[in-house]
């Protein structure tokens, strides 16, 4: 980041810079992150161990495929009736019909924002890396702002 002053409009400051600075100030400390990681690890590792013993390879593979198109897809949606399908199939099906393809429950009031979206474990990012990425984006944004040139440089 440069040491020179930059010019930003009020809209740029309050829309981008100020919220980013607040986020950095309130950011999660390393100690809080470690505590949260320990709690999650202890809580979910026991459930994972129980689940692993009961499911066969076919069951695990079946969970990763869409019930409509039968393709392996990392992103699944879960409407109000709790039947999972890939996002593409959900959108296609909803254009043609206003009911769930499995149970025929109404999907009329189900908006895209109301859906639960399951993500693959490879898409989960830890909070410190998100904080670093946000900080990097803030610095890049500030570096692109125009420099403030002092008036005494023009008065010669």
User: For 113-156, what is each residue's pLDDT tens digit?
Assistant: 667 776 666 666 677 777 788 788 888 888 888 888 777 666 65
Give me the pLDDT at residue 44, please.
65
In the structure, what pLDDT confidence band is assigned to residue 20 with cuts at 50, 70 and 90?
Answer: confident
Mean pLDDT to the nearest integer, 58-76: 71
Tell me, which fold does domain 75-118 have in CATH?
A: Herpes Virus-1 (3.30.40)
Distance between CA 67 and CA 42 in Å, rounded? 32
The DSSP symbol for 121 reads G
Higher pLDDT, 125 or 50: 125
The verdict on pTM exceeding 0.85 is: no
Residues linked to residue 77 through DSSP beta bridges, in sequence order = 85, 117
Distance between CA 88 and CA 139 in Å, rounded? 36
| Mean pLDDT rounded to a whole number for the chain | 73
Distance between CA 136 and CA 29 in Å, rounded? 18
CATH 3.30.40.10 domain position(s) in the chain: 75-118
């Amino acid at each position: 980041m440069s040491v020179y002053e930059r010019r930003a409009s009020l809209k740029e400051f309050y829309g981008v810079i100020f919220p980013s600075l607040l986020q950095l100030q309130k950011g999660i400390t390393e100690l809080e992150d470690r505590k949260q990681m320990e709690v999650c690890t202890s809580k979910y590792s026991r459930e994972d161990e129980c689940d692993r013993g009961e499911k066969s390879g076919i069951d695990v593979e079946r969970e990763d495929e869409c019930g409509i198109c039968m393709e392996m897809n990392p992103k699944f949606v879960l409407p109000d009736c709790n039947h999972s399908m890939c996002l593409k199939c959900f959108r296609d099906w909803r254009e043609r019909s206003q009911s769930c393809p499995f149970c025929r429950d109404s999907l009329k009031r189900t908006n895209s924002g109301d859906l639960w979206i399951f993500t693959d474990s490879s898409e989960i990012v830890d909070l410190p890396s998100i904080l670093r990425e946000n900080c990097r984006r803030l610095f890049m944004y500030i570096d692109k702002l125009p420099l403030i040139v002092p008036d005494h440089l023009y008065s010669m």
